[in-house]
Every structure is written in structure tokens, then in C-alpha cells.
Amino acid sequence: MDKLAIVVPCYNEEEVLKIASQALREVLEDLIHKEKIAEDSFILFVNDGSKDRTWELIEEEHRAYPTRICGVKLAGNVGHQFALTAGLLTAKDMSDVTVSIDADLQDDVAVIEEMIDKFHGGCDIVYGVRKERKTDTFFKRTTAQAFYKLMAAMGVKTVYNHADFRLMSKRAVEEFSKYKETNLFLRGMIPLIGYQTDNVYYDRKERVAGESKYPLKKMLALAFNGISSFSVKPISLILGVGVFIIFFSILAAIYALISYFTGHVVPGWTSLILSIWFLGGVQLLAIGLVGQYIGKIYIEVKGRPRYNIEKVLTDDDDNET
Ligand code: UDP
Ligand code: MG
């Protein structure tokens, strides 16, 4: 039987912690009862340097349910993506499969069972995907959708309307641990792992209590981080603009020369206008060119795995599992 770890990052979640713990414990007991997961499956709360009583509550829950509730205390606030990674990497060595979910129960805990079923059906990664965003404010909905579209335009592979509610098998988390980059954007990184994946769909609810820990500033930072960690397209855009302006300077030259010969210009204007357009283009082109190299250095420096071998067939692998 596979041991499940539910990983929950928590930042100032004292209002929801007990409710979340209760709801997730019920899910675990139900799945254990149905013999879908191992008896010793557990919930791992990651305290992301909360300033309120979150950690005390996690300790209390652990005392009340020592086998079910585990906790990780980060020494300071490092943000959702890092807290989640810390939780996943800790859980990896203690379990066979992980499910990550937010503490506020906006994601439907009922679909965890469906995720586990898909896992037993051979999937290594199962994404929780929101059906619609009725409960989000108009602002959050439109900005989020614009974000997914922009990511797609920049060539970053993400799962539409999927946040960080997902199942990952032990070997998927192990592969993920080989991504050593510090600019974490999990939604872009997980699809790079490969393996068989699937989606489960659910309606996203309102927070059970407390306030969103993702104000606009953090959302914009996440969006920019997502693009800049995965795409060097903005650099190519500069290069493109440079080429375009050099081409345009030819048109400007023709126009300036015609004006010059028809004699309607102040002395010096023609050479000035030509230099401005041409040099502007050359400068952008040069910056874009240098940028291409920087983009390559950036990709190299990340040291991401270049491939992930799932299976090898040879003639002496009879003892393969
Ligand atoms: N979170 C975290 N560290 C932070 C901010 C948020 O661990 O610095 C956690 C938070 O406790 C929650 C999850 O990340 O479990 C998602 O945050 P939230 O629900 O506030 O975001 P929203 O759903 O509003 O986008
Ligand atoms: Mg939330």
C-alpha cells in the first residue's frame, strides 16, 4: 500500500489551521478505510515563518494526533513556493506519494481521492484544475487569466487554471529535487519533469477563514518570476526591435534624402535624422545580441536536468522491477 503525505504550506493561518487539519484528517481516514493508501499516511504542515500562533497550533495538532500530523518549521518567511518545496522534499523521504494543497481549503479536498485513483492508474503527476473562478473577484479572475495567456505567449508550458494543488509520486518529486534553481516557479517546473500526467477538475471555493496572503504585489512578483525564470523571449524581442528599426532607418533615409534633394530642409537635418535612426537600431541590435548570450548563460547556470529517463530496456534486465 502506498503511503500518502499531504503537504500544506502555512503562513499566518491560525484561523484555518484546525479546520484544515480536521478536513484533511477525514480525507486520510476515509482513504485508509477504503484501502487506497497506507495506514501510516500523514499530513505535513510547513510553517513558513508565521507571525501568529500557526506553529503552536501545528504542535498542538501533532500532540493530539502524533501519527497523522507532522510539521516542519522554517526559520523565517521564505514565501509559498519555497515553503512548498521544503515540504515536498521533506515528505519525499517519508512517503510514496505526495499531494500539495493550500491551508485555506479553497481547493476541493474531495478530489484527492480521484487523484489517488489516477495515481494507481499509472500517473506520476495529477494536476488539480479549477473548473471556473466564480468565487474569485473579477479583478483576480481577469489578472490570473491574463497571466496564463502571457505565459503561453512567452513559451512557458503551464497547466491552465492549475495552481499548486497536485499529486506527485515519489519518483516525480525525486526528479523535481534535481532542479537546483533558486528562482522557483513550480507551475512551470513540474511540467518539465515528464511522466504520465492527468488532470482532475473541481470548483474553487472561498477561503474558509482569514485573508489572502497573495496581495497584488506578490502576484505580480510571481508572474514576473515565472516568465523570467522560464523564458528568454523578452531578450529576443529586443533583438527583433533592433532589426526592425535598422530596416526602418532605410525608409527614413529614403525619406530624408528625398526631402534633402527637393530642398525643403534645414542644413544638417538629413545627416542628423539618419544617424539617430540607424544608430538607435544598431544599439538595440547590439544589446539584443549580448542578451542572447546572457540568456544562454542563464539557462546553463540553472543546471536543470536535460532529460529524465523513465525506463531502459536491455537484454540483461531480467531482474528489473
Ligand atoms: N503561503 C505561504 N507563505 C507565504 C504566503 C502564502 O506559505 O509567504 C501559503 C498560505 O498559507 C496558503 C498558500 O500559501 O496555504 C496560498 O496562499 P493564499 O491562499 O493566501 O493565496 P491565494 O489563494 O489568495 O492566491
Ligand atoms: Mg488561497
pLDDT in tens, 188-197: 999 999 999 9
**164 CB near ligand 1 (under 6 Å):** no
C-alpha cell recorded at residue 140: 483576480
Query: Measuring CA to CA, how many Å separate 178 from each of 31, 161, 190, 244?
Result: 31, 26, 12, 40
Which amino acid type is present at position 203? D
Q: What is the Å distance from ligand 2's center to 54 Cα?
A: 16
**188 CB near ligand 1 (under 6 Å):** no
Per-residue pLDDT tens listing for the chain (321 residues)? 999 999 999 999 999 999 999 999 999 999 999 999 999 999 999 999 999 999 999 999 999 999 999 999 999 999 999 999 999 999 999 999 999 999 999 999 999 999 999 999 999 999 999 887 666 778 878 888 888 888 888 888 888 889 899 999 999 999 999 999 988 899 999 999 999 999 999 988 888 778 877 778 888 888 888 888 888 888 999 999 999 999 999 998 898 888 888 887 888 888 888 888 889 999 999 999 999 999 999 999 999 999 999 999 998 766 555
**213 CB near ligand 1 (under 6 Å):** yes
**103 CB near ligand 1 (under 6 Å):** yes
**13 CB near ligand 1 (under 6 Å):** yes
Ion ligand 2, residue ranges at CB < 5 A: 102, 104, 106
Cβ-based burial of 213 (10 A; exposed 0-12, middle 13-18, buried ≥19): buried
Instruction: Note the pTM of the prediction, 2 decimals.
Output: 0.85
Q: Strand pairing partners for 10?
A: 47
Q: What is the Å distance from ligand 2's center to 41 Cα?
A: 24
The pLDDT tens digits of the residues spanning 225-283 come to 888 888 888 899 999 999 999 999 999 889 888 888 888 788 888 888 888 888 999 99
Q: Strand pairing partners for 99?
A: 6, 167
**11 CB near ligand 1 (under 6 Å):** yes
The closest ligand to the CA of 86 turns out to be 1
Q: Tell how strand 197-202 and strand 162-169 pair up.
A: unpaired
Query: Measuring CA to CA, how many Å separate 287 from each of 175, 238, 241?
Result: 36, 7, 11
CB 127 within 8 A of CB 193: no
Q: Which atom of ligand 1 is nearest to the CA of 207?
A: 19
d(CA 45, CA 77): 14
Largest pairwise CA distance in the chain:
92
